[in-house]
Amino acid sequence: MDTLKDKVAIVTGASSGIGAGIVKELLQSGMKVVGLARRKAKVEEIGKNYEGKLFAIETDVTIVEDVVNAFSWTEENVGPVYVLVNNAGVSYMSPIDEANVEKFKQVLNTNILALTVCTKEAVKSMKANKIEGFIINISSVFGHYQAAFPGVSIYTTSKFGVTAFSESIRRELAAAGSKIKITNLSPGLVESEMSQGALHMFPYLKSEDIASGVKYIITQPPDVNVAELTLRPVAETH
């Protein structure tokens, strides 16, 4: 789509799953896509035979310096960010009395704190360059209700946090007169490395489905902000 051609997108967690699907969709639209992930080589494999251009940066989003450097490099070498997709996330399942606290920290650092730092850097860039861009936070249906099975307390906590942060920042920017658009995108179960153990038990979405949702969000008219988008597989009951 011509309105997206050569505009800059940053996608976190870009090496596989939902992130890789989103990268492909944006490249197909002719965008310049900066993929952030710890596995840089896997990101680089994605970008072949597309209209857009892919830039891979080895980044641990839980390290603030890595994030700041990635955004600075992007603005200096590719251009100011127009779309940020905060997709990086991890899961951990355990009964609370048996939980590994370090794993809890990893979930919160990745799913919440890293997302807020990336959002901060994107908003700074968009404001400085007068860009009415998009920030899309990948949450979950578990960011809206409690899961029907045990052991996912820290994951659901993190996704409730993403949902709350998205709406809070949307209101904050709106109150300041900003036209930066914030979306909380909440999928049901999606096929990915993280979800392999559950795919035989429940209906699930493909990464391409979430990527189509992202494309829908960023191609709305300028006065439309898709504040919440929920995508669920047909026949999902949990």
- Cα separations in angstroms, 11 against 2, 99, 129, 133, 199: 20, 30, 19, 14, 25
Which residue has tokens 């809890």?
104
Sole residue written with tokens 């891979």: 56
State the Cα–Cα distance between residues 32 and 29, nearest whole angstrom. 9
**Residues with Cβ within 8 Å of residue 86, at least 6 apart in sequence:** 12, 114, 115, 118, 119, 135, 136, 137, 138, 162
H or E segment at 34?
strand 32-37
Number of other residues whose CB lies within 10 A of the CB of residue 54: 22
The residues annotated with a catalytic role in the active site are 155
